[in-house]
Structure 1
Amino acid sequence: MALPGRADDGAPSPSDPTPSGRVETVDGGAAVTPKELKKRATAWALWDVGNSAFQAVVVTFVFATYLASDLFIDPQVAALGEANPLDPQYLAAQAASTNVIANLSTVAGLLVALIAPVLGQRSDGSGRRKLWLGIFTGITVLIMLAMFFIQPGEEYLFWGALLLAVGTIFAELSGVNYNAMLSQVSTPKNVGRISGIGWGLGYLGSIVLLVLLLVLFIQSFGAEGRNGILGVPSGADGGALDIRFAIVLAAVWYVVFALPVMFKVPEIPKDENRPKVSFLASYGVLFRVIGKLAKSDPKLLLFLAASAVFRDGLQAIFAFGAILAAQVYGFAPSEVIYFAVAANLVAGLGTLAAGWFDDRFGPKLVIMASLVSLTAFSVVLIFLPSEKTVFWIFGLALCLFVGPAQAASRSYLSRATPPGREGELFGLYATTNRVASFITPALFSLFVFLSGNPKMGIIGIGIVLAVGFLMMLPVPSKVKQASA
């Protein structure tokens, strides 16, 4: 598998070579041949394909929805809900199980916000960035394998939610090191495309994996109590083995696609002149970094804040999309997965295309155009009838612009980061996102509460995207590298 080169002017990818036939990466590391750098970029992008197993299968469409199902509430109460979905006792049980998942997820988010920038900072110059990526990825995979033991039953809900929360922590920490690696596998001329290819392949990987899991384990083919072409036992009587085996296969998928980056991308060199500080003292260094950014690079600090806001809105589109599809537009569970496959396909193709625009016109233009389009489509959805066809058209239109904004945001920071500080600034990138992660869910809930209509939650998403757009206006279009 190879990454595409520049087709617009015939120049080779990943960048124009020097007279020696070598190119220099964004981080200013050792010059390598274009062919070798392309191999490294391919290996790096494949990790995103592996990571899609956790993000799409565990967090969004399979394991999290499994935990939120009636399989984890009292069977007698679940029977009441079957007879009357509005039964107060049933609704209270649903709310209680959702709160367990939400509360542990909130704790996980706070922990990531606290430790991500410090761990990222400590990996810079340590000569261990790839090592930590491997460790955090490995722990995430082990947690996914442990999810196999979460059987249907109230007594397993807490442990399932705990695994989900802890897995999220290590997945986020691995993402800090992975994002910091972008500068090692790209050049100033193609960093936007490489970032976009990573996001795009992640979306496309989600499609392949979801379809595979659907066919093998989850889709009903008419056999009572068994799902998938393998006829795996399902439901409470079958121990939900269809879901549990799906998670195991997703873990194997993660390992397969995470391995190439460990073999093809070299470890960063150790900076012997970098002062060693304790873990707690790293927080003092972090606050000094933020203070220095506020004085010397306030626009970069503004970008971190703005991107935290609009990325929260982007994540909400996928997070609440499945809920809206089911509750407002009447999608059946299988239809939700079909939409998820289509959504990831559209998002992936949009991201791959946007990478070219990023390198040609700059990441800010891609971000701003995406936010305008997303806000406009959100407004349109509010006023159109709640019909499946409407959601298919405008829901997919929203997905078309989610990936480009995410990928361009990552490439903007990569361009602005001086060599040796990638982990530190991408740690801040993760932290600011976590700090802002309550905004869209809170506004979504507020508008649903005030209107009594789940569809009105879209207003909250639109507001966040619009605020992110306004915050981005003062951010320079021409990326300036931060002070070292």
Structure 2
Amino acid sequence: MAEQVVQRAPKRGIWGWMLFDFAQQPFHTLIITFVFAPYFAAKVASNPAEGQEYWGYAAGIGGAIIALTSPILGAIADASGPRKPWILLFSILGFIGCWMLWYATPGMGNLGFAVLAIVIALVGMEYAAVFNNAMMPTLVPRSELGRLSGSAWGLGYVGGLISLVIVLGFLSASPETGKTLLGVSPLFGLDPATHEGDRASGPLTSLWYLIFVLPMFLWTPDVSRRGSATGAVRRGLAELWETLRTLPSQRSYFSFLLSSMFYRDALNALYSFGGIYAAGVLGWPIIKIGIFGILANLTGAVGAWIGGRADQRFGPKPVISVSILILILWCVTVISTTKTEVLFMTVAAEGSGSTLPDIVFYIAGAFIGAAGGSIQAASRTLLVDQVEGDKVTEAFGLYALSGRATSFIAPFAIAFATAWFASEAFNLSTQDAQRLGVTPIVALFVIGLVLLPWIRSREYKPAEA
């Protein structure tokens, strides 16, 4: 497949596109992983197991919506042309959903409102990313996509890190001491007793996104309109049907969608339930989980940057393979760690206060962050290798479909498994029910790795570093 000639976008247009990742990463860092998710499980729900269960339902519902509609909207966007109007539409939805999380108060009897807010935020933010990703191949030549994607992911992790420091250092305080991680009282008179600092992660994510997504809208060039809206719908649906009809015969493209469906689903589940797991199994408070998040974001930024350079030198597929192996190893380590065990071996007595499990969990988080940043950046460039330039948004729509087709199954599986193991039939502790509930993550990583050999990466001459 010959490399498509792409006229380089202005430097500020490239920076504007990269800042989208910077703008959106706090949603994943604050809401999905390190602050709101564990707060939801530990304080909003009646117990951590129920919190993990309902978080799984929310992620599953949002994933199902994205899976069923993203390829259609992607094909329509390719037929019509511009991506920014779609990004704007879903950005508004994501902004509203994140802001609604402020009203998820501790011990609220009905979790339906919180679940609805999570679903709205997830759909809005994920869809905005689909259309932003589709702009990537129009900005630089193919030989530079790996470095561009890796640099953008790295910048995103920096955004997540800064936002996490703001929340932990100035907003979220311990109910016992009334002080934040930096030892100061929360800004704006936020009440530690009602966890207003943790809940403020929702509005902060909304405002952060609003500010830092603006350069993309103002500076990054968009493709020109290709036809009327009515014609675009008809053409888009026709082209999507043709793609789906012939997809099984496109072995590399089909294999990539299948492989990424499993390993990205596993990674998303690991991110979504990692903080919840730490809160329930290790008994970590939000501030301690936040420190874990700071470390994971630091290594994620480094991993994405290194992965982007490795992608440019060796291609994206080797980067993805190595990253999956690292994730499998450290995911097993996480599952095997409790307050008293490491690698399923007892290392301390209950209540002894041993720090070894905490240290192991921190190390695991560092490696998971680095491998996660690398694999996500490389996946974007490997997808671009599978399609022609006029099919990119449709491809990212199918990419979202493949990522979400099992992403609603994995959270549901974790939710059902957690509820099952927490039932009276097994007579397990809440902590053991949580451990067993997340074990499908490892199997998903393995399946994704097994499917990689059937994927081909485009041959290209690497750009000079």
Which amino acid in structure 1 is aligned with residue 268 of structure 2? Q
For residues 219 and 315 of structure 1, the distance between their equivalents in structure 2, rounded to whole angstroms, comes to 27
Instruction: Pick from 398, 401, 419 the counterpart of residue 389 of structure 2.
Output: 419
> Deviation string for 1:156-191 (max 9, x for gaps)?
632222111111111111111011011122221210
For residues 433 and 61 of structure 1, the distance between their equivalents in structure 2, rounded to whole angstroms, comes to 22
> Deviation string for 1:21-55 (max 9, x for gaps)?
xxxxx7645x34xxx53322211111111101222
Which amino acid in structure 2 is aligned with residue 59 of structure 1? I
Q: Find out whether 1:432 has 2:389 as its counterpart.
A: no
Alignment of 1:33-72 (within 5 A): 37-71=10-44
Greater C-alpha radius of gyration: 1
Q: Is the 8 A contact 2:100 2:202 kept in 1?
A: no
For residues 380 and 222 of structure 1, the distance between their equivalents in structure 2, rounded to whole angstroms, comes to 31
- What corresponds to 2:442 in structure 1? 462
Structure 1: stretches of 5+ with no match in the other structure:
1-25, 74-90
- What corresponds to 1:475 in structure 2? 455
Which amino acid in structure 1 is aligned with residue 24 of structure 2? N
Q: Find out whether 1:232 has 2:189 as its counterpart.
A: yes
Q: Find out whether 1:286 has 2:240 as its counterpart.
A: yes
Give the CA RMSD over aligned residues: 3.1
- What corresponds to 2:369 in structure 1? 399
Q: Which has the higher contact order (CA 8 A, sep 6+)?
A: 2
Q: Is the 8 A contact 1:225 1:234 kept in 2?
A: no
TM-score by length of 2: 0.82
- Gap change, CA 1:294 and 1:224, over 3 Å in 2: closer
Q: Which SS does the other structure have where 1:68 is aligned?
A: helix
For residues 153 and 262 of structure 1, the distance between their equivalents in structure 2, rounded to whole angstroms, comes to 40
- Gap change, CA 1:319 and 1:99, over 3 Å in 2: closer
- Gap change, CA 1:265 and 1:322, over 3 Å in 2: same
> Deviation string for 1:349-373 (max 9, x for gaps)?
1111110110111000101111122
Q: Find out whether 1:349 has 2:319 as its counterpart.
A: no
- What corresponds to 1:212 in structure 2? 166
Alignment of 1:105-144 (within 5 A): 105-144=59-98
Task: Give the Å deviation of 1:130.
Answer: 1.3
> Deviation string for 1:251-304 (max 9, x for gaps)?
21111110111111112112249982547x855542321112223x22111111
Q: Is the 8 A contact 1:49 1:206 kept in 2?
A: yes
Deviates more, 1:227-236 or 1:133-142: 227-236
Q: Find out whether 1:373 has 2:326 as its counterpart.
A: yes
Q: Find out whether 1:317 has 2:270 as its counterpart.
A: yes
Q: Is the 8 A contact 1:53 1:251 kept in 2?
A: no
Q: Is the 8 A contact 2:147 2:312 kept in 1?
A: yes
Q: Find out whether 1:262 has 2:217 as its counterpart.
A: yes
Which amino acid in structure 2 is aligned with residue 369 of structure 1? V
For residues 272 and 49 of structure 1, the distance between their equivalents in structure 2, rounded to whole angstroms, comes to 32
- What corresponds to 2:379 in structure 1? 409
- Gap change, CA 1:360 and 1:96, over 3 Å in 2: closer
Q: Percent identity?
A: 28
Q: Which SS does the other structure have where 1:124 is aligned?
A: helix
Q: Find out whether 1:331 has 2:284 as its counterpart.
A: yes
Q: Is the 8 A contact 2:20 2:216 kept in 1?
A: yes
Which amino acid in structure 2 is aligned with residue 194 of structure 1? L
For residues 299 and 54 of structure 2, the distance between their equivalents in structure 1, rounded to whole angstroms, comes to 33
Which amino acid in structure 2 is aligned with residue 198 of structure 1? A
- Gap change, CA 1:123 and 1:27, over 3 Å in 2: farther
Q: Which SS does the other structure have where 1:420 is aligned?
A: helix
Instruction: Pick from 349, 355, 358 the counterpart of residue 311 of structure 2.
Output: 358
- Gap change, CA 1:341 and 1:225, over 3 Å in 2: closer
